[in-house]
């Protein structure tokens, strides 16, 4: 999988479902796609996307989940999705044993959750005792680290199985913590893995809306790490959009209103843009956990945080179990014909990557890959060379080709590096099952280190290991 030459990734791409250039041919073969963690709420959407690909010569879709009850329900739902798109429901298969069904897969899509329902309160509440206030807590910080410690060992076992059963497959990972997952995979397996997140395309459309310009006319470049990638270029007809956006952001922050009024919602990202000169890809709730400046004092939380993904304390721990129940309710209603199945192809990258590869056309997307990709040199020169970065990628019949970005502006790169040190040690902890490496990771975490002493961080980490020992086998 060769690297594309520098500059090829610096082209704005429209909403994927509108970008059909070269996508009007036919597949050259039937394909097999296996979804791991198929009980996920992603699955009906991704299945509809796959069955919406024009020119398919046949798709065998295999659903894998260890929760037999949820898998049985999802199997029935996805069979309905297939039939609604004109495919035979017999093409959709399901199993609780991945090893029996992975063989011959062309693509593995990972959407799994490991012990999340059992541990989401531990991930939030124990750090809260030590003053670490989290909103999402599933990609960085104490919550993100422990999600990684539970999830990465399972992921690496899946990749070992893939090396034996489907060595030609490409792994498309949607599971968080994205950076640690892809980093551990890159250090442990030869199976090609690319991490997919919708924050780049979502934020690019959001910025076009705020600047009141057509997205198709906006020229932009974006690079960094997952949830902390920077729109270093944002132009319309040769002029930077940042002066206008920064002026508006200052007005919004000077005249805040309560609640979730759209124009006042994104306070952390707007403040970062004012001070750093560029907008970041992920929600203010996520971003506030990647930085040391916004969640360390009650007055700052009150000033910058608004409900839900705007930064609300404990939002994910409180609402995630509700979403799971709502998702299960939706599935039951779908089977009873009381709600509509997905009708439009979403803008999630997975199906467009598969379609482009099978039709041998070039498609651009932003993916999470190793910075020193296949030993070809760093994609982003001033970030850790053995780390994971998010950059523009191209895909064709030969696979995924990340593009070289160059160097980020130094102040932006420094913020990314502060997070990459956490991911570096978090991946090491998961690969080696090392308690000490996990402690070291949180020593360096920007938010945790802003509010805790080294001794407090050690005590907190050990308390989390004790609370989750049932789900962290082999750590020592």
CA distance 229 to 127: 26
User: What's the CA gap between 355 and 346, in Å, rounded?
Assistant: 14
Q: What are φ and ψ of residue 231, in 5° steps?
A: -80, 85
Residue-wise burial string across 122-133, b where 16 or more C-beta atoms lie within 10 A, e elsewhere: bbbebbbebbbb
Question: CA nearest 224: which of 261, 175, 276, 149?
Answer: 276
**Largest separation between any pair of C-alpha atoms in the chain:** 61
Other Cβ atoms closer than 10 A to 96: 14
Rounded to an integer, what distance in angstroms lies between the CA atom of residue 235 and that of residue 257?
Answer: 29
Name residue 279's beta-bridge partners. 231
| Per-residue burial over 356-382, b = 16 or more CB atoms within 10 Å of its CB, e = otherwise | bbbbebebbbbbbbbbbbeeeebbbeb
Q: Return all residues near 310 (Cβ < 8 A) that are at least 6 apart.
A: 260, 265, 266, 267, 283, 284, 285
CB 402 within 8 A of CB 366: no
* Cα 324 from chain centre: 18
Residue 33 near residue 353 (C-beta atoms within 8 A): no
Closest CA to 352 of 172, 183, 90: 172
Token reading at 23 = 């996508």
Distance CA 327, CA 116 (A): 15
Q: Please confirm, yes or no, whether 75 is among the known catalytic residues.
A: no
Instruction: Tell me the sheet residues that pair with 221.
Output: 233
Phi, psi of 278, rounded to the nearest 5 degrees: -150, 155
- 10, 75, 198, 411: the catalytic one is 198
- Pair 197, 227: CB distance under 8 Å: yes
The DSSP secondary-structure symbol of 476 reads -
**Token code pair at residue 50:** 């796959």
Cβ(403)–Cβ(8) below 8 Å: yes
Distance between CA atoms of residues 393 and 170, nearest Å: 14
Active site residues: 198
């Amino acid at each position: 999988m060769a690297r594309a030459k520098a500059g090829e990734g610096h082209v704005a791409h429209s909403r994927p479902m509108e970008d059909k250039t070269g996508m009007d041919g036919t597949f050259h073969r039937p394909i097999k796609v296996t979804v791991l963690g198929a009980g996920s709420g992603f699955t009906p959407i991704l299945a509809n996307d796959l069955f919406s690909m024009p020119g398919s010569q046949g798709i065998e879709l295999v659903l894998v989940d260890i929760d037999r009850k949820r898998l049985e329900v999802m199997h029935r739902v996805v069979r309905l999705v297939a039939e609604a798109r004109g495919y035979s429901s017999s093409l959709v298969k399901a199993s609780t044993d991945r090893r029996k069904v992975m063989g011959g897969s062309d693509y593995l899509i990972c959407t799994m959750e490991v012990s999340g329902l059992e541990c989401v309160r531990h991930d939030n509440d124990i750090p809260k005792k030590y003053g670490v206030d989290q909103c999402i807590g599933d990609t960085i910080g104490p919550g993100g680290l422990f999600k990684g410690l539970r999830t990465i060992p399972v992921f690496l076992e899946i990749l070992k199985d893939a090396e034996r059963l489907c060595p030609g497959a490409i792994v498309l990972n949607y599971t968080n913590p994205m950076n640690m997952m892809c980093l551990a995979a890159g250090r442990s397996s030869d199976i090609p893995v690319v991490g997919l997140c919708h924050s780049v395309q979502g934020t690019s459309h959001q910025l076009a809306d705020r600047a009141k310009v057509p997205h198709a006319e906006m020229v932009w470049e974006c690079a960094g790490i997952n949830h902390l990638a920077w729109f270093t270029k944002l132009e319309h007809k040769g002029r930077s959009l940042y002066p206008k956006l920064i002026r508006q952001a200052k007005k919004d922050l000077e005249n805040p209103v309560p609640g979730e009024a759209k124009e006042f919602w994104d306070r952390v990202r707007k403040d970062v843009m004012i001070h750093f000169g560029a907008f970041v890809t992920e929600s203010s709730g996520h971003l506030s956990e990647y930085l040391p400046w916004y969640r360390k004092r009650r007055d700052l939380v009150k000033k910058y945080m608004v409900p839900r993904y705007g930064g609300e304390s404990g939002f994910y721990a409180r609402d995630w179990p509700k979403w799971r129940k709502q998702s299960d309710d939706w599935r039951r209603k779908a089977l009873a014909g009381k709600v509509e199945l997905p009708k439009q192809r979403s803008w999630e990258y997975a199906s467009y990557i598969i379609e482009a590869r099978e039709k041998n056309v070039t498609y651009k997307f932003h993916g999470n890959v190793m910075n020193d990709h296949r030993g070809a040199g760093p994609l982003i020169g001033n970030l850790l060379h053995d780390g994971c970065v998010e950059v523009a990628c191209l895909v064709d019949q030969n696979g995924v080709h990340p593009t070289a970005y160059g160097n980020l502006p130094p102040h932006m790169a420094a913020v990314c590096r502060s997070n990459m040190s956490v991911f570096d040690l978090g991946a090491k902890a998961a690969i080696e099952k090392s308690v000490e490496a996990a402690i070291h990771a949180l020593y360096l975490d920007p938010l945790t280190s802003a509010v805790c002493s080294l001794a407090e961080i050690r005590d907190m980490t050990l308390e989390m290991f004790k609370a989750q020992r049932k789900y962290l086998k082999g750590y020592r």
